[in-house]
Amino acid sequence: MRRAIYPGSFDPVTNGHLDIIERGCKLFDEIIVAILVHPEKQPFFTIDERREMLSQVLQQIDRGSCKVRVDHFEGLLVQYAVAQQANAIVRGIRAISDYEYELQMALMNRRLEPSIETVFMMPAETYSYVSSRLVKEVFQLGGTLDGLVPPAVEARMKQKVRPAAND
């Protein structure tokens, strides 16, 4: 039984995240998509909203026989991973710029908890420039999110800023 944690903010979940989860499903029996709670960060979506959206869009991807569930946690990732009896942490690498930070985190996590391996996965090229931050920026400036996030996520973003409108 191979269980991995895929941690992140998922504020909101993008097609890049889903691509990594689909690929992870080929390697693991179970993936826990774990939202990291940052008490001091001001998010766009609440934890509950992010959990709900993730659960919804995860139904739409190819999971094979892999079980994918959504959770959230606070504090040290490796402590959470051990508590969940996970073997690995999955992280997505888009470009060299991700690698530097991710390598540092992976090595620190290994030092803190040698039993857990970090697995880096590369998304399809189409998603190699997609980030939640950029998605929010494009959205706030009125650009289309077609192909960057699932339609349900774009709809939730619109709803969030214009709760009264029903288009």
Ligand X SMILES: Nc1ncnc2c1ncn2[C@@H]1O[C@H](COP(=O)(O)OP(=O)(O)OP(=O)(O)O)[C@@H](O)[C@H]1O
Q: Which residues contact 57 (CB under 8 A, 6 or more apart)?
A: 13, 18, 150, 152, 153
Is residue 131 within 8 Å of 101, Cβ to Cβ? no
Binding mask 52-91 toward ligand X (x if CB under 6 A, else -) reads ---------------------------------------x
165 vs 66: CA distance, rounded Å? 38
Judged by CB under 6 A, the number of residues near ligand X is: 18
Q: Does 132 bind ligand X (CB under 6 A)?
A: yes
Choose the binding region for ligand X from 14-22, 59-67, 78-86, 149-157 (rule: CB under 6 A). Answer: 14-22
Is residue 120 within 8 Å of 103, Cβ to Cβ? no
Is residue 44 within 8 Å of 11, Cβ to Cβ? yes
Q: Does 16 bind ligand X (CB under 6 A)?
A: yes
Q: Does 10 bind ligand X (CB under 6 A)?
A: yes
* Given 9, 17, 50, 156, the catalytic residue: 17
Q: Does 131 bind ligand X (CB under 6 A)?
A: yes
Residues classed as catalytic: 17, 41, 94, 132
